[in-house]
Structure 1
Amino acid sequence: LAGVSPHYRSEPKTVGGSLFRIQRDTRFANDKSPYKSWQGARLFHARGRQVPAPSFYLHLQAGKCFVGAGLWHPDSATLRRLRKFILDNPGSWQAAAHASTFRKRFDLDDSEMLTRMPRGFPDDFEFASDLKRKNFVALR
């Protein structure tokens, strides 16, 4: 991670730190087992609490390990700026997110998408499906 940027770090605090808690919220679950069968950690930018910044996520689970990087549930203003950047720089977006070297190693998260184009964006844009994303996360 230090090779990506010296500004990314883990936070060792027990509450609000990088490691997710191991206890499950069983209040509304049919499965009342008290502990999770996986462990997750979030590694974030040093200024991530002051400005929107991508973060890294590590998920460890038997048979289901993965890493993720990007913006998960960004606020409306950040999401609009991302979409505007893609619209204004389709060549850069193509080179970054749709390059064959990138796509061989990573998938873009498709778990949450808008059904229609966001207001103010053209329906016939070549990366319309990317503008409909709610999260901008690469997974492996």
Structure 2
Amino acid sequence: MPIVKEIEENKDYYLYSWKTKQGIWTFKEAGYHYVVAANYKGDMGDPVKFELSDIKGDNGEKLYYIKFTNPPEAKTPYVTRDSNGWVYLAKREDATPWFVFIQGTGLAFFLYYSREPGGYFRWLDRSDVRWLTTDGVQNDRTLFEIHSVE
């Protein structure tokens, strides 16, 4: 599966953590489906699609909604965050628009659209689960490879 350097809307991709060598999938806790690391290294996780948001960044940058292609519940496939930084699945109207920055190396990082400091995807290890969070730690980010499913 090749690493992509440009996103095509509505195409299936894996988000694969460059450092931990794990993809993403979901974990149900307290009635929500949170986004977490796959159980073991080498697991590509579950595929996602990128949908262009009608919202633009302050300088006209493209923002995307991230949608799981086979979510645990069909009505809540979109990646969003709460005010504490936890990343979970929700309906499109509640989804967070994300900046997707793909560097020249092909490694990407994700930032939710806000004027608050921090907000990058990063891992938080707690209770034997590696949670994806955006808990406001400035410049602490997890780099991902974006692989085409094809």
Q: TM-score, normalization: structure 1?
A: 0.30
Which structure has more RCO (C-alpha within 8 Å, separation ≥ 6)?
2
Structure 1 or 2: larger strand share? Answer: 2
Larger radius of gyration: 1
Q: TM-score, normalization: structure 2?
A: 0.28
Structure 1 or 2: larger helix share? Answer: 1
